[in-house]
Structure formats: structure tokens, C-alpha cells
Structure 1
Amino acid sequence: MQRFIFRKKKEITFLSGALIILAFISKFAFQNVELFNWALIIASIIGVAPIAIQAYQALRVKVVSIDVLVTIAVAGAFLIRNFEESAIVTFLFLFGAYLEQRTLNQTRSAIKELTELAPESALKQMENGEFEEVDVDDVDEGDILLVKTGAKVPVDGTVITGEGHINEASITGESVPVSKKKDSQVFAGTILENGTIQIVADRVGEDTTFGKIIELVEEAQDSKSKTERFIDRFSKYYTPAVLIFAFVVWLISRDVELAITILVLGCPGALVIGVPVSNVAGIGNGARNGVLLKGSEVIQSFSKVDTVVFDKTGTLTIGNPEVADTEIYGDNMDEVFSYLASVERESDHPLAKAIVNHIGEINLYPVEKTDVVKGGGIVANVNNHRIAVGNVKLMEAENVLLNEKARADIARLEGKGNSLVLTAVDGELKVLMGIRDQIRPGVKEDLQKLKALGVKNLIVLSGDNQGTVDLVSSELGLTEAYGHMLPEDKSAHIAKLQEKGQVVAFVGDGVNDSPSLALADIGIAMGGGTDVAIETSDIVLMNSDFSRLPHALGLTKATASNMRQNIIIAVGVVIILLTFVFTKEWMNMTIGMLAHEGSILVVILNGMRLIRYKLR
């Protein structure tokens, strides 16, 4: 029976409304008082049924909910034969709940859109070599899949044959199609706009980048901030207090109608729903715009940030450096470059990739006993030679002699803003390379927007040399710049800033800077859809798009402000209504319920404004 009533709640609401309309027509058009009363009695009974069931379920778990207050109020009105108010109050309560659900569904539209983009089937290569359509859950890692024009990519994978252009808006927020060819990475949920490709499945199901994004947004929208937890605790005690207050008023005044009116007016519905709706709408806006906010606690913390610390490479700069200068200090350089390329091709560091690209096709050797020196470089054995590749600190640690010319070259290249990579073979310096990275387009304007949003300190911490860091800082107008920073130096500097009372956000790549991302009040990853970036930070800027950072800060400030507005609206309405019940003769249950439901809709609509938020 309970399930039937809940399933038909919408129909009950509109039936109740129709009976109320019938009642008033019968009274004013036909002066039929008996039909008027019976229509209101039936409307009261069917209307209170779902409310009373929810009240009973709440009382079973020892919770005095809003439904309990409304049920008692309606029962009281019914007992004093005020059928008009009992019917109208139940209808307004049910109709308000219906409108709340509809509008709340809109605030969750972002996650709904994401889940609708999730692929359901795939064309999988079977044992006979033919491709057959299967459920996406039947795809395993290593399977070969065919993706045709207009189809969704079913899993994360690597292109093995074919070419095409893919719309990656579901992952990156960018709708401009991205060219894909052999060895390109593709992501589940993206759409192949033209071409045909075959891919090998790398990650499937919930392990795909798209699956993790959906999981993160769902978790974020369901998480609760300190404010929400406080309101939950407050309403737990507030609602019984309203019940006791109404009972005390009845004891003193013996006015049943006044007591049940207080029950209706004191309902904290808008207060309970006001903060969550702002939270859900704000997170939904972020998801639409390539900003993953991991919960309402993140929103509160980031909105208060006054210091933003940046990693340099791949954050303020593009992260695709190129070799700009080369100084040679020995002979037989073909062999030296072979050793250097052999060592660097095993590294994913941007500087290593730049060196490999610069050297080009060359004879390679097996690399043995590789030792990665944190904040220094790499030491390895190649063709029975000890090869050291890294910065000046590594050369000093390896007791490599740096003569006057080498030191002069180092100073000159540092002065030009180069990152330095030195190569020594068996303790003797052979090559010095100066590598430069380009500053991201538009970063300077984005930093100005951060300042306009109230960020006082913009700091860069980099493992690069001080000369390079100073040049970047000067060009971008940063507050402070520090070079030669190891990962532990960065986290120590962040701790010092926090000791001074600053609220610190750290922006990095989510891999090398994980200690700083974890220590900062807010860790922000420039996530090109990588696992580490998504997992280790509080906020992810999809597609490594720096321009999303001002939007993220503006959005969190707007969301935090929206939450405060909703709390003020909710508390203000209750105070005004309770004041009016003792000072105004026209205040009654019906007006109180209308104002109560109206306040709930106001806070929901106020929260929904965040869905369309854009940084001005």
C-alpha cells in the first residue's frame, strides 16, 4: 500500500488540487456547503496519506521530521473541523514537493547529461575476425574494437588503424574535434565525428577516464560541507523544538489553531534544502565547463583562497620545451649523443622528450643500473660508461669538473631563461643544453582575472634554475618566484605560507607535485585526462586548460555566496512568519504553508542561477 501511495504521489497531488477547486466552485457557484465540506474532507485524507507515511517512517528511526509537523498540524485542523485549511495545507505541501523535485532535477542535469553520454555498446572483433555489436560490459582490456563515424568511443584505448576526428567535449569541455591516427589515445564517451578507426581497449567500464569523471561528479554532488552537516544537526533539534513550542503555546492560550499554525510556519524546509541545491548546481556548472570540483567542502575552501602557488613547467608554460642552445666540450660527439638519447628516451620528463626530439634518429644502446636522482637527473650505465644527465647539482654530486668556460656558458644560458641539462661521461662534462618552454597563451590575462577575484599572492615554485623562473615571473607579473626547488622544498614553502595564515591553492601537473597538491588547502591538477591528476587533487582542470582556473575560482565564490543567501532567506522567512503569527490577525495555516513552500522554491531557483554562471 505504501509503495502504491508513493508511486501515485503526483496523481494524489493533482487529485487533491482538483477536489479543492471542486469544493470552492460548489460553495460559491452553487451554494452547496455539504459538497464543499465533503470535497475538502476527501482532499485532506488523500493528501495527508503520503505525508503521514513519511512521518511514521521518520518517527520509527527517532527523527522528528517536517512531515511529522505537517501531519500533526493537518490532523489538528481536521479535528477542529477546519477542513479548508487541512486540505489546502496538504495540497500546498505536496505540490511544493513536486515542484522542488522538478527543479532539483534540473540542478543535477550536468550529471544526467554525462551519464547519457556513457556508451552502451561496442563493435568487438570476435575470434573469426568479424566485428559484432556487444554490450560495453562485455568488453575486456586488450579487445580490438571498431568505431564508425558518428559512434561513441566505448572505452579508453589506443588507435591501431585508421584516422578520424573526435569530439572530446565530454572529457575536456572543448567541442573542437581532435585529429586521431595510429598510436593516438582515445577516451570513452567521446564521439567520432568523421573517419573510421580500430582501437585496442586499454581501460574499460568504471576504470575509463569518463567513468571516473562521472563517479567524481556524483560523489561531489552527494558530499556534504561543514555548513550542510551543521544544518542537518540543527534541524534534528530544531524540528522537535518547534513541536514543543507549539505545545507550550497551546497550553498557555488553549488556541488549537494558533498552535497548529506555528507547526506549519516553523518548518525548516528551505533551510535544509538551500545549501545542497547551491552545492549541486555549482558542481554541475563546473562539470559542464571542464572543471571537476570534488565536493562542497572544496567549494568553501577554494572560495577563501588568497594565495595561489604554481608549478612552472606544464602549468604556466605549455610543457613542450625545445632545445634552444647546445654547447659541446669534447670529441666523438656522435657516441655521446647516442648515450644521451639512450638514457633520455626512458624518461617521460618534458626536458627528456625535448632532447630526444632534438637528437632525432640515432644509434641506441641498452641502459643498465638506472638511478633517478630526485631533483637532480639520471645516472645510468650505457655501453660500460657511467652517464650522468641532469642539472648542475647532479654534476657536483658526481664530482664532474665545471671549468670557467662551462660556468660562463651556464650563466649565459640561465640568463636567457633556459632550463639546463648537462651530460657527463665517466665524470667528464661533454654537453650543455639550454631548453626553453613557451608561456601558455593567455596566462597573463588569466592571472589578472585571479587578482581581480581577490587573490593577493601569485607564486611560482620550480625545480628549474632561478634565472628562468625570474624571467617567467617578470613576464607574468607574479608576486614571488623561487627556483631550484625540490618536491620537498615546494611542500615546505607551502607549509610556511599556511603558518602565516594564508589559504593556499597549489596548481601542478598532479604527478611530480603530489606532495604539494596534498599539503595545500586546495590542490588543483592540470589534468589532461590522466589518472593521477584526477585522483590526487581537489580540483581538476580538464584538458590542462589554464583559462578554466579563473572560472573555477569565480564559480566557487558565487556558489559560497549563493549558499549564504539561501540560509538568510530560509531563516529570515521563518522569523518573519513566526513574528506575524503573534502580531497579525490575518496569518493562518494556509498563508503560512504558502510562504513556506514559496521560500523553498525561492532558494531552489536562487541556487539554479549557478547553472548558468559565467565569469564576467
Structure 2
Amino acid sequence: MNSFRTWLHGKWAIPVISGLLIIASWAVERIAGGVYNPIITPRWWIDAGTHATGATFFTLADVFMLAAAVAAGYGIILKAISALAVKYISIDLLVSVAAIGAILIGNFWEAAAVTFLFTIGHALEAATLNKTRSALAELVAVAPDVAIVMRDGAQVEVPAAEVRMGEIVLVKSGAKVPVDGEVVSGTGAVDEASITGESIPVEKVASDAVFAGTVSRGGFLQVLATGVGADTTLARIIHRVEEAQDSKAKTQAFIDRFSKWYTPGVMLLAVVAGLVTGDIVLALTLLVIGCPGALVISIPVAIVAGIGRSARNGILIKGGEYLETSAKISAVAVDKTGTLTKGTPSLTDIIVLDATSSSSDVLRWAAAAEAGSEHPLARPILQKAVDEGVAPRGIPGDVTPVPGKGIVSDVDGRRVLVGNSALLEEYGIRDDVGAARQAEDLAAHGRTAMIVAVEDNVIGLVAVADEVREDAAEMVRRLHAAGVEKVVMLTGDTRLVAESIGRATGIDEIHASLLPEDKLDAVANLQAQGHTVAMVGDGVNDAPALAIADIGVAMGAAGSAVAVETADIALMGDNLLKLPEAISLAKRTVTVMQQNMAISLITVVALLVGVFAGGVTMSIGMLVHEGSVLIVIINAMRLLRNTKGITAMSKGERVPATSPVTSDRVDA
């Protein structure tokens, strides 16, 4: 009984009931064998050609056909009235007027056919639209239900939403990770495809981050909960995708404005046609075939499918407007450190230039000066100092960062400078030992050199190097294949270092020795040249450039709630090849949008020609109309297929090995 009640409230109940009544009408008429069997109740009708009125009687077949029209049309009329209450002329109103008009002229079959086809079309639309939202449904489905936590020394199973921050959660082989957290003990392999789109499980050890909704494929992990419930990466992704799929592209906003005028226009056309020709059937038919259903749905269905497909692949696009803009990207500006390079520099050289100093002295002074720095270059210097047993104690008394040049620190009452030759010039320190020349030689070999000076004496250099990411050159190639005309590197490092990276990756244009505001100017210049610019950066030093770019891209955003919420495109994994994949998918989505609009408009024009030429009835018009709606939905569903396209590597193709390069002070 409950199942039947559920079915009655489902999307297929009305079409099935209406369809059965139509079949019953045909059956009664066939059984009657053409014999006229009037029912007592009279009916009034209007002759469509003469406008004469007269009385006849209902047959049983008429009763069934009228009941079919009422069953299917009741809900349509209610929706039309609700729309009118908020001063909106909807498609339902066109169908309602056409169906009521058909009943008034005694054409019960047309009334029943139009409303039946309209309801069955809506049911099919709902079913297929659910398919386009399948990516979001899959994200919701991977949300964990339960968690095993340690409480009072015992394992306790609780709903995932009831895990408390700071609790230790146990993740066993085959189980879903129920929280965002940090591994405190154990090892294991975790499938992070639901978050990053990467199908290869990631090995996890102590201090590694894990995310809710990922799945353990082996091992045993103890995880400290740092994000629970709605504060997990998965929850933020679901929220972001829901908002993005409901957002409107500029084209969709135009279509919405167009339909507000188009629908009343169709009604006016039907009235004029009826008055001029005296043909009520023609007027009612125009109402039916003029329904802009396919046109209205053509854009949002493509956006839902496109954003859903990208989310399934670990790419979050902020909304329809950003997806549409991404399809126009013609220039990509990339930060160097952490984007083209791995972002984990190590100390490679210590050069002594002062006869009274040793390599340990150079390292000790450099580390002591960098102890108060937040810059990524400080880390490899400090780590090397720890390894060599010359690590500084405490922090400098005064630290003055000099953007684009280096750092000046007060160490035990002595001024220590660590930076480039421009820093020496600013503080009036003479380079009598050729430090600048040696720094250039190191830069030519892909290393970032920093001159170390104590008071007014240059004592040596330290150099660090970072590695070019293995997929950096492949990313540049695929961006070009995706239609991007220019890939530009923006870096605060020296020209020599930047050119070394450019040769290794195939970058088209290099802008070196940039301050954060210089990066903003570089992006603005690209836009002035007519480019639609995407900027890929870390969101800190690159914030001005990211803000002015047409599309701001954040990489490795799975661990950053801010990036997930604010970036125009958030690449959840640390995979450079997701960028050309995102652009390629955006272009495919916009192509589908254009195809859908063409299908919709061609269908309406063809039906209008058919009506005036003769041969297209209300029922045929509605059938073709609903068919066009299904075609645009099915066309959009093609986006859900995981096509390799530009994101796949050709058979036998290899990513070329690259040389180590450097990090810099401005763009790290």
C-alpha cells in the first residue's frame, strides 16, 4: 500500500493515468464500431470554422478522452496560475490555454494529446536531468556514514557526523575515511579519487593529510580529526558544486531575459493569427509549438553536466559564468615555485668568499638571519644548518624583509644581509670578491644564489635549487593543444633562472624579477592585448594577479578551505595536467550549449513553417517540442562521459625528464 502511495506521488503517475484513459477512449470507440452511443449530458461546442455554437452529447469515448486531458492538465494549470501569481508567463500557461481552447472547440483528442505529451515529457526531463546531476549524487554517496573512534581506551562506532574535533579515528582496510585529519600512526594506501580525481591510491604515513570520503585500500591508520561534519573538504566540495550547478552563465541570463518577452510574444502571435485567419485551431497550435522549453533548458542542463563532470575529475569550477569564461582562455600565466617546480628547494651550494670564514660560518650566519623569515627559501637553509650542527638558537632581534631583494636581520648585535646584489647596493656594501658574478654563474645552472654579508663584509654565497615538475612541459603542450595561444611565466627570480625553467618546460614568454604588483601589471598587459587570462598561483604573493585575472586557478586545493571557496577554478589534486583538462572541458561544454540553442531554435522555426504550410497539428507540435527538449538534455549528457580527449597521453608518449631549477623570494 505504501509503495502504491509513493508511486502516486511520483513523476510517472499522471502520465500513466492519462495514457490509460486515452487507451480506454480508443478501445471504447473501437468496440462501439462507429455506433454513436450518446450519454445524457449535453455539451456545448464552438465550430472552429463558422464560430457557430450548438449542442450535441458526450459519448463514452469522449468522457475518457476528456478525463485524460483533465488528469494531465490539472497540474499544468495549477503551475500556470502559480506563475501568474508572481507575474510570470510560463510555458505551462501556453499549454493550459491551448488545451482549454481545444476542449471548447470539442477537440478532446488534441487536448488530451497535448497535456499527456507535456507531462510525459516533463517526467522524461526529470529522469534525464537527474542523470546530468549524477556526479553530484556520486559525491553525496561517498560521504561516510559511520566512524570508529577511540573513547576511554575502547573502539566505539558512532555516526560520522558525531565525531568530535581532536578525536582519534581508526581507518581500517576497505573503510571510508570519515573525517579530514592527520595520520598520527600507521601506514596505508588511500584512494582519493572522490576528492582529487586521481585513481591511483596514495601511500599515507604519519603527518600526511587524509580527507573524508576517501577509501582505505590497505593498511591501518590512526587519524587525528581536524575537520568533521560540514567542515570537511568533501562537504565543501558538495556545497560548492551545488551552488555552481545552480549558477547562471551570461548566455543563460540572456536566454532567461529573452524568454520573458518571447512567451508573451507567442501568445500575442497566436491571438493575431486567430483574428486574421479566423482559425482558432491555428491559434491554439501556435501556442503549443511556440513553447520555448528546449531553449530555456538548453543552457542550464549543459552547465549542470559540465560542472558535474569536472567535479568528478577533481576540478571545481565556481559556476556557469566562470565555465563560460574558461572556454575563452587564450593566455595562461603561471607562478613558478610550486607550480612549474615542486616547491621543495634544497641547499645545493655553500661558497666561501672571505679568507677568514669557513663554509660552516657562511651557513651559520645565513641560517641565523633566516630564522625569523617566513619565506620558503629559509627552510632549506635552516634544515642544512640543523644537519651540520650549526642551527641558530632563538630568532634574530630585528628582521626586515626587502621585497625582491632579500632579508636584513640583527643577529647578536650584528647586521646580516642575505639576498641578491641589489640588496648589497641598497645598503651600500661593495662587492669586491665577485659575489654577483658567481651568483650569475649559479643562476645559469638553474640555482638561486643568495649573497651573505655580515656588517659591510661579503663572506660568501648559499644556493638552493628546486626541481621542475615532471608534468610541467606536458602541461604547456596540452594547453597549446587546448587552444591556449600563450603560456607565460611570472616569477620574482632572476632572468637566468627563469630562462632555465623556460627551456625545460617550453614556456612561450618569461617575465622575471617581478614584485607582486609587477605580476598584476603583467596580467593586465595580457588582457590589454585582447587575451582572456587565467592565472595559476598560490593565492598569497600572487593575490593581486589572481584578483585581476579573468580566471583565478588554485592548485592542490583539497587541503585549503579558502581556495575551495574563493578560487574561480580549484584543482583539488596537485596535478598540473588538470589545468588543460579544465579548459578543454569548458570548451566542450560551451560547444554543447551552442548546439542546444541551435537545436531549439531550428525546431521552433521548422514547426512554425509546418503550421502555416499545413500538416502540423497541436499533438504533432507537442510531440516534436518534447522531442527537442529530450535531444538537448541527451546532448548535454555526453559531457558526463569520461572522454580522454586532450587529457590523455598518446601511446608511447613520455614526459621528458627535466633539470633542477630554483625558487625565488617573491613568487614562492
**Partner residue of 1:353?**
379
- The reply on whether 1:583 has 2:613 as its aligned counterpart is yes
Whether the aligned pair in 2 keeps the contact of 1:146 and 1:196 (CA below 8 Å) is: yes
Could you say which residue in structure 1 is the equivalent of 2:363?
Answer: 337
Please state if 1:294 is matched with 2:318: yes
The residue aligned with 1:247 is 271
Residue 328 of structure 1: how far off its partner (Å): 1.9
What is the match of residue 435 of structure 1?
464
CA contact (8 A) 2:147 2:169 kept: yes
1:375 touches 1:487 (CA, 8 Å); kept in 2? no
Which range moves more in the overlay, 502-511 or 134-143? 134-143
Equivalent positions of 1:384-399 (< 5 A) are: 384-399=413-428
Alignment-mate amino acid for residue 555 of structure 1: L
1:556 maps to what in 2? Answer: 586
SS in 1 for 2:12: helix
1:367 maps to which of 376, 395, 415: 395
The separation in 2 between residues aligned to 1:560 and 1:176, in whole angstroms, is: 30
Kindly indicate whether residue 105 of structure 2 is the aligned counterpart of residue 80 of structure 1. yes
**Which whole-Å deviations, capped at 9, do the CAs of 1:37-58 have from their partners, x for residues lacking one?**
2221111111101111111110
Determine whether 1:168 maps to 2:189.
Answer: no
TM-superposed deviation, 1:120: 2.9
Q: Which consecutive residues of structure 2, in runs of 5 or more, have no partner in the other structure? A: 37-58, 647-668
3-state SS, counterpart of residue 529 of structure 1: helix
Correspondent of 1:184 among 193, 197, 208 = 208
Instruction: Classify 1:420/1:31 alpha carbon distance in 2 versus 1 (closer, same or farther; 3 Å).
Output: farther
Instruction: Check whether the contact 2:331–2:484 (CA below 8 A) recurs between aligned residues.
Output: yes
Q: Distance in 1 between matches of 2:539 and 2:472?
A: 19
1:89 equivalent in structure 2: 114
Q: What amino acid is the match of 1:258? A: L
Offset of residue 357 of structure 1 = 4.1
Q: Is the 8 A contact 1:365 1:383 kept in 2?
A: no
CA contact (8 A) 1:143 1:201 kept: yes
Q: Does residue 213 of the first structure (1) align with residue 237 of the second (2)?
A: yes
Describe how 1:447-458 pairs up with structure 2 within 5 A.
447-458=476-487
Q: CA deviation at 1:249?
A: 1.7
CA contact (8 A) 1:365 1:382 kept: no
Please give the alpha-carbon distance, in whole angstroms, between the structure 2 residues aligned to 1:347 and 1:6.
68
Partner of 2:39: none
* Map of 2:91 onto structure 1: 66
Q: TM-score, normalised by structure 2?
A: 0.87
What is the CA–CA distance in structure 1 between the aligned matches of 2:531 and 2:191, rounded to whole Å?
40
Structure 1 gaps of 5+ residues are none
User: Cα distance, 1:310 vs. partner?
Assistant: 1.3
Separation (CA, whole Å) in 1 of partners of 2:589 and 2:140: 24
TM-fit CA distance, 1:541 = 2.0
Quote the Cα distance in structure 2 between the aligned partners of 1:207 and 1:217.
15
**Match for residue 194 of structure 1 among 211, 218, 230:** 218
Q: Distance in 2 between matches of 1:434 and 1:31?
A: 99
SS of 2:633 mapped into structure 1: helix
Aligned-residue offset at 1:430: 3.3
Q: Distance in 1 between matches of 2:226 and 2:369?
A: 27
Report the CA distance between 1:547 and its aligned residue: 1.0
8 A contact 1:366–1:383 mirrored in 2: no
CA–CA distance in structure 2, aligned partners of residues 257 and 165 of structure 1: 68
Within the alignment, does 1:278 sit opposite 2:302 as a pair?
Answer: yes
Aligned length, in residue pairs: 612
Partner of residue 315, structure 1: 339
Deviations 1:232-276 (A, max 9, x none): 111112111111211122222232211111110100000100000
Which amino acid in structure 2 is aligned with residue 474 of structure 1? Answer: R
Q: In the alignment, what sits opposite 1:489?
A: 518
The residue number in structure 2 matching 1:610 is: 639
* Closer, same or farther: CA 185–442 of 1 in aligned 2, 3 Å: closer
- Residue type matched to 1:492 in 2? D
Q: How many Å apart are 1:596 and its aligned residue?
A: 0.5
- 2:26 aligns with 24
* 2-structure distance, mates of 1:47, 1:73: 13
Aligned to 1:11: 13
Cα distance between partner residues in 2 of 1:115 and 1:437: 39
- Which one has the largest radius of gyration? 2
Distance in 2 separating the partners of 1:105 and 1:590: 27
Instruction: Note the aligned Cα RMSD (angstroms).
Output: 2.3
What letter corresponds to residue 272 of structure 1 in structure 2?
Answer: V
Q: What is the DSSP-based 3-state SS (H/G/I as helix, E as strand, rest coil) of the residue aligned with 1:202?
A: strand
| Cα distance in 1, alignment partners of residues 237 and 13 from structure 2 | 37
Contact 1:265 1:592 in 2 (8 A): yes
Matched, 1:543 2:545: no
1:427 CA drift (Å): 4.5
Partner of 1:519: 548
1:557-608 CA distances to partner (integer Å, 9 max, x unpaired)? 1111111111111111111111211112x21000000011011001111111
Q: Distance in 1 between matches of 2:227 and 2:425?
A: 43
Match of 1:236 in 2: 260
Distance 1:174 1:434 in 2: 35
Contact 2:435 2:451 in 1 (8 A): no
More displaced 10-residue stretch of structure 1: 230-239 or 248-257? 248-257
- Cα deviation, residue 391, structure 1: 3.3
Cα distance, 1:460 vs. partner?
0.8
Q: Is contact 1:6-1:50 (8 Å) kept?
A: no
Cα distance in 2, alignment partners of residues 6 and 490 from structure 1: 61
C-alpha contact (below 8 Å) 1:366/1:382 kept by paired residues: no
Residue 466 (str. 1) matches residue 495 (str. 2): yes
Per the alignment, in what secondary structure is the counterpart of residue 182 of structure 2?
Answer: strand
Amino acid at match of 1:186: V
Alignment partner of 2:226: what SS? strand
Contact kept, 8 Å, 1:309 with 1:507, in 2: the verdict is yes
1:163 deviates by 2.0
Partners of 2:203 and 2:416 lie apart in 1 by 38
Q: Point out the more displaced range, 314-323 or 226-235.
A: 314-323
Q: Give distance in 1, aligned partners of 2:613 and 2:226.
A: 70
Secondary structure at the aligned position of 1:179 is classed as: strand
Q: 1:20 to 1:307 in 2, by over 3 A?
A: same
Contact (CA 8 Å) 2:351, 2:359: kept in 1 or not? Answer: no
- Paired with 1:422 and 1:171, the residues of 2 have a C-alpha distance of 43
Task: Pick closer, same or farther for the CA change 1:121–1:392 going to 2, 3 Å.
Answer: farther
Residue 115 of structure 1: aligned partner: 140
* Cα distance between partner residues in 2 of 1:600 and 1:251: 30
Residues 398 and 207 of structure 1: CA distance in aligned 2, closer, same or farther (over 3 Å): farther
SS in 2 for 1:150: coil
2:174 aligns with 150
CA distance in 2, matches of 1:428, 1:167: 54
Amino acid at match of 2:378: A
Contact 1:338 1:365 in 2 (8 A): no
Judged with a 3 Å threshold, the aligned counterparts in structure 2 of structure 1 residues 187 and 388 are, in CA distance, closer, same or farther, namely: farther
Percent identity between the two aligned chains = 44
Task: Check 1:322–1:112 CA distance in 2 against 1; reply closer, same or farther (3 A cut).
Answer: same
Cα distance change of structure 1 residues 388 and 119 upon mapping to structure 2, 3 Å threshold = farther
Aligned partner of 2:597 among 561, 564, 567 = 567
Q: How far apart are residue 105 of structure 1 and its match?
A: 0.7
Give the TM-score, by structure 1 length: 0.94
The answer to whether the Cα contact below 8 Å between 2:326 and 2:583 also exists between their aligned partners in 1 is yes
Moved more, 593-602 or 417-426: 417-426
Q: 2:326 is matched by which residue type in structure 1?
A: F
| 8 Å CA contact 2:330, 2:533 repeated in 1 | yes
